[in-house]
């Protein structure tokens, strides 16, 4: 089975989270990774569909409306649409149109990206079409599949299309995709380490089983013009003539067993393919936008034993708005029984000598048209079923394999997004039928036949809960929970930037499970950090925490707006601008909250550079009383960038303080031109702004700690806020001239009135 890579990079566990109370820290953690696992989806058979997106209440249906010329009808209004869910009329609340791209001149050569994009209308901002191209071809079909995919990438790739070739990371870079495809053609059997194969390594064995069945059928039923009606119906259970003598009867019993084993093997290949498609569904289900899987395969035989698995895959695909398009890479074929003997030998199926010598009836049975039709045409069934049950199209019995991408293009543009809030508010995971009609004469309407309503959070599987969290991070940032996040950047051990991230959700907003002596809250966090300019995949980090607080403390702390369940960690980043996004979930209720922070990481090379200005009131002394503690302290210092002046600085997600709090500031100068203490002290100036207006009444005390061995100078500041009024403050710290930058550091915080 080919490797299927994650669509957006890999997940890694965080460090320990902590829940901070004054003078106390409670820590528990269970790091998690999003994984694929099989689950029993509903068995409602899906029909022709494009896409349905279901939020908590809003249901958005993708609808294509075409005229008599089969071209999209534009300019329709809400009043033109009629939507019924389970027979009940729904009011159309949202209507949007995704325009079809302009026609593109097709050619066998790959034109430059810019030349193609000039002729294409841009898609609606933020909309993506994710296309997973899966190739499982015979060695004789490599050229046809390669040319069809190349034509798509060269001339049909639209803005907003993200393509994965056999599980490689999704990309919209035409040049990279074409180069990868060329490597796959050069190593079709997977001999190249960095690209997947075009050829399915088991397909020859799969076809060998087909022709073994043909041979055994001819030997067992040589007196009949065709085998029993149907294929793979476990024919060995039926009574058969035993033959003329004991030796012949023994041969027939052995053939029965061989044919039964072959039928089981053929069924196994179908199951393997369907499980693979389930895996692709589970890897794509969290992506936002149109999702299509295009399968190039040398047929796929279907049998009754695998119908339930097929319907399960189709139901899961429909639930997550994934449409399958299938291509029979055998192309245009004919039923030619005269070639059977040659194909038996090609796929390694030897013809028994005794059968050829002793039975003319066997040779006639082997060359029977209906028997051959059962083998050859039967490989269309599975591909057609996979496409139709998921709402896609099947391309069979044609040499124009690229036709499949025309269907993808047609279905992914030139459609309306029709949104409504269902009058039935129940959410129990049922299948709801939809009927969409348009009050315009002479048009055809293509729309989903239905959708699955959401399940209550408590009834979701673990995998479904993780997917909901992932989707929240990728789409609109939810605000049901009050979430805060802060990011500061320092230099790591290797000289590269390290983002010090602190995130938190307010304790009082979480639902606690109360026991006699203590209360417990459970939260899950998922975060993404990535460069604004792109070029590299974002990194994803996940963690969970279960925090127990004594009931004697819980009532007071949960009522405070300043108590958070927090996660603190350090993430390596590249120099440049970045976006950090985080989403929290209350695991008791399913409520979500998110926050987004933009920050820039400087280059900490040989030139002078400064870290960001961190603001916190969580500091702790570093104790080094015993040899063991000293050893631990040295180890922590080697990896801790927030230790200075005998204190350990702990970042906090929010920058809200109360009048009377002592606030600590920390930043570092790397590679300064001078370590002259007096010069640094004389040039380090601080300003304080209140609501954007400079004030003079402030008392920030700075300690300047030159550390020549570390090639840096550490500046620690403290601010007593007892004489400051409530308001929004900013600290402006000038960078000493010796640093050579002449810049300023700015950190903001909110000072609230002291309620104690």
Higher pLDDT, 103 or 675: 675
> Mean pLDDT across the chain, nearest whole number?
78
pLDDT (tens digit, 9 = 90+) per residue, 260-271?
A: 888 888 888 888
CB-facing half-sphere around the CA of 393: CA atoms within 13 A = 14
Q: pLDDT at residue 246 above 70?
A: no
State whether residue 450 is helix, strand or coil: strand
Which range of 315-329, 443-457, 491-505, 626-640 scores highest in mean pLDDT? It is: 491-505
- 211-242: pLDDT as tens digits: 988 888 888 877 665 555 444 433 333 333 33
Per-residue pLDDT, averaged over 449-464, amounts to 73
Q: Residue 166 and residue 290: Cα distance in Å, rounded?
A: 18
Specify whether the CB–CB gap between 729 and 688 falls below 8 A.
Answer: yes
d(CA 617, CA 717): 11
Reduce the DSSP state of residue 446 to 3 states and report it.
Answer: strand
- If one compares 24 and 592, the residue with the highest pLDDT of the two is 592
Please state which of the four CATH numbers 3.90.1570.10, 1.10.510.10, 3.90.1150.10, 2.60.40.10 is assigned to the domain occupying 1-34+478-604.
2.60.40.10
Whole-number Cα distances in Å, 305 to 210, 233, 302, 425: 17, 9, 8, 38
pLDDT tens string 626-668: 666 555 555 455 446 788 888 889 999 999 998 889 999 999 9
Residue 659: C-alpha distances to residues 662, 725, 754 (Å) = 9, 7, 5
Q: How crowded is the C-beta side of 181, counted as CA atoms within 13 Å? A: 27
Q: Give CA torsion, residues 458, 463, 464, 468, to 10 deg.
A: 100
Question: What's the rounded Cα separation, in Å, for the pair 85 and 77?
Answer: 20
Whether residue 744 is predicted with pLDDT greater than 90 in this model: the reply is: no
CB atoms within 10 A of CB 49: 23
Using only C-alpha atoms, the chain has a radius of gyration, in whole angstroms, of 33
List, in sequence order, every beta strand (DSSP E) within 29-122: 30-31, 52-54, 59-66, 81-85, 88-90, 92-98
- Are 501 and 487 in contact by the 8 Å Cβ rule? The answer is yes
pLDDT band for position 119 (cuts 50, 70, 90): very low
Look at residues 204, 304, 217 and name the one whose alpha carbon lies nearest to residue 258: 217
Lowest-confidence range among 4-8, 467-471, 529-533? 4-8
Task: Give pLDDT, residue 145.
Answer: 95
DSSP state of 155: I
Of the CA atoms within 13 Å of residue 200, those in its CB half-sphere come to 25
How confident is the model over 347-367, as pLDDT tens digits? 888 888 777 776 788 888 888
Neighbours of 587 (CB within 10 A): 18
Q: pLDDT grade, residue 123 (50/70/90)?
A: very low
pLDDT at 477 over 70: yes
Of 99-113, 348-362, 483-497, the least confident: 99-113
Give the full edge-to-edge strand order of the sheet including 17-21: 24-26, 17-21, 564-572, 497-506, 483-491
Average pLDDT for 382-387 = 90
What is the tens place of the pLDDT at every residue in 714-739?
A: 889 899 888 888 999 998 888 766 55
Q: 175-184, 315-324, 392-401: which has the minimum mean pLDDT?
A: 315-324
Give the β-pairing of 662-670 and 712-720: antiparallel
At 567, which helix (H) or strand (E)? strand 564-572
How far is the CA of 253 from the CAs of 137, 212, 215, 485, in angstroms?
35, 16, 15, 73
Q: Where are the alpha helices (DSSP H) in 412-548?
A: 462-474
pLDDT at 101: 55
What number does CATH give the domain 606-756? Answer: 2.60.40.10
- What pLDDT is stored for residue 61 in this prediction? 82
CB 528 within 8 Å of CB 538: yes
Phi, psi of 8 (to 5 degrees): -125, 35
d(CA 338, CA 320): 46
Tens digit of pLDDT for each residue in 690-709?
877 887 666 788 888 888 88
Are residues 135 and 145 in contact, defined by beta-carbon separation less than 8 angstroms?
yes
Q: Would you call 126 helix, strand, or coil by DSSP?
A: coil
Question: What is residue 437's predicted lDDT score, i.e. its pLDDT?
Answer: 93
Q: Cβ(741)–Cβ(610) under 8 Å?
A: yes
Q: Which residues are CB-neighbours of 436 under 8 A, at least 6 positions away? A: 61, 63, 81, 82, 83, 84, 418, 445, 447
Q: Indicate the domain borders of the chain.
A: 1-34+478-604, 203-408, 606-756
pLDDT of 46 reads 31
Residue 9: Cβ within 10 Å count = 15
Helix (H, G, I), strand (E, B) or coil at 235: helix
Q: Which of 124-128, 186-190, 327-331, 535-539 has the highest mean pLDDT?
A: 327-331
Instruction: Check residue 45 and give its pLDDT.
Output: 30
**491 and 667 in contact (C-beta within 8 Å)?**
no
Q: What is residue 480's three-state secondary structure?
A: coil
Q: Are β-strands 415-420 and 59-66 bridged in parallel, bridged antiparallel, or unpaired?
A: antiparallel
């Amino acid at each position: 089975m080919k490797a299927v890579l994650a669509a957006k990079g890999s997940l890694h566990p965080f460090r320990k989270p902590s829940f901070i109370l004054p003078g106390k820290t409670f820590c528990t953690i269970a790091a998690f990774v999003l994984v694929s696992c099989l689950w029993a989806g509903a068995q409602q058979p899906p029909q022709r569909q494009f896409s349905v997106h279901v939020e908590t209440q809003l249901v958005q249906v993708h609808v294509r409306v075409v005229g008599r010329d089969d071209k999209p009808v534009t300019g329709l209004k809400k009043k033109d649409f009629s939507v019924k869910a389970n027979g009940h009329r729904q009011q159309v609340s949202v209507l949007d149109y995704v325009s079809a791209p302009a026609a593109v001149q097709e050619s066998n050569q790959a034109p430059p990206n810019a030349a193609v994009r000039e002729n294409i209308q841009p898609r609606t901002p933020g909309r993506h079409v994710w296309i997973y191209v899966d190739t499982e071809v015979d060695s004789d079909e490599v050229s046809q599949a390669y040319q069809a995919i190349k034509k798509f990438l060269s001339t049909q790739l639209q803005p907003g299309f993200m393509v994965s070739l056999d599980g490689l990371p999704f990309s919209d870079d035409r040049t990279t995709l074409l180069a990868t495809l060329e490597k796959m053609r050069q190593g079709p059997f997977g001999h190249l380490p960095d690209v997947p194969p075009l050829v399915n390594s088991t397909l020859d064995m799969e076809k060998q089983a087909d022709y073994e069945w043909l041979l055994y059928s001819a030997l067992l039923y040589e007196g009949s013009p065709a085998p029993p009606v149907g294929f793979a119906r476990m024919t060995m259970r039926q009574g058969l003539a035993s033959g003329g003598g004991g030796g012949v009867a023994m041969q027939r019993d052995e053939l029965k067993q061989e044919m039964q084993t072959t039928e089981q093997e053929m069924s196994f290949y179908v199951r393997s393919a369907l499980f693979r498609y389930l895996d692709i569904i589970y890897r794509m289900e969290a992506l936002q936008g149109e999702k299509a899987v295009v399968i190039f395969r040398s047929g796929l035989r279907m049998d009754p034993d695998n119908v339930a698995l097929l319907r399960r895959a189709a139901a899961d695909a429909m639930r997550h708005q994934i449409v399958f398009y299938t291509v029979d890479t055998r192309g245009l074929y004919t039923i030619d029984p005269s070639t059977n003997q040659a194909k038996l030998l090609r796929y390694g199926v030897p013809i028994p000598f005794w059968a050829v010598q002793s039975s003319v009836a066997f040779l006639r049975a082997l060359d029977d048209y209906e028997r051959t039709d059962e083998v050859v045409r039967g490989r269309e069934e599975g591909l057609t079923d996979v496409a139709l049950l998921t709402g896609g199209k099947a391309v069979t019995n044609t040499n124009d394999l690229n036709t499949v991408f025309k269907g993808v293009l047609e279905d992914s543009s030139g459609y309306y997004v029709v949104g409504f809030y269902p009058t039935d508010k129940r959410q129990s995971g049922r299948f709801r039928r939809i009927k969409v009609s348009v009050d315009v004469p002479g048009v055809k309407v293509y729309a989903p036949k239905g959708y699955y309503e959401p399940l209550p959070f408590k009834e979701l599987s673990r995998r479904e809960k993780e997917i909901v969290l992932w989707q929240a991070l990728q789409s609109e940032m939810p605000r049901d929970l009050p979430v805060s996040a802060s990011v500061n950047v320092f230099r790591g051990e290797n000289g590269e930037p390290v983002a010090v991230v602190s995130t938190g959700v307010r304790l009082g907003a979480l639902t606690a499970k109360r026991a006699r002596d203590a209360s417990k809250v459970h939260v899950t966090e998922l975060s993404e950090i990535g460069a604004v300019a792109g070029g590299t995949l974002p990194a994803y980090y996940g963690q969970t925490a279960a925090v127990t607080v004594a009931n004697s403390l819980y009532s007071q702390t949960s009522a405070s707006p300043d108590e958070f369940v927090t996660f603190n960690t350090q993430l390596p980043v590249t120099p440049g601008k970045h976006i950090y996004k985080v989403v929290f979930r209350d695991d008791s209720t399913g409520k979500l909250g998110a926050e987004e922070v933009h920050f820039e990481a400087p280059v900490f090379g040989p030139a002078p550079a400064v870290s960001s200005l961190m603001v916190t009131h969580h500091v702790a002394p570093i104790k080094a009383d015993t040899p063991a503690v000293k050893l631990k302290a040295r180890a922590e210092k080697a990896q801790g960038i927030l230790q200075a002046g005998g204190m350990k600085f702990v970042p906090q997600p929010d920058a809200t303080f109360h009048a009377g709090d002592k606030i600590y500031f920390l930043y570092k100068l790397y590679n300064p031109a001078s370590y002259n203490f007096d010069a640094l002290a004389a040039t380090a100036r601080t300003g304080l702004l209140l609501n954007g207006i400079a004030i003079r009444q402030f008392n920030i005390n700075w300690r300047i700690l030159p550390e020549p061995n570390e090639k840096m100078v550490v500046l620690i500041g403290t601010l007593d806020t007892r004489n400051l009024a409530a308001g929004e403050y900013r600290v402006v710290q000038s960078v000493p001239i010796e640093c050579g930058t002449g810049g300023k550091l700015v950190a903001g915080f909110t000072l609230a009135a002291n309620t104690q």
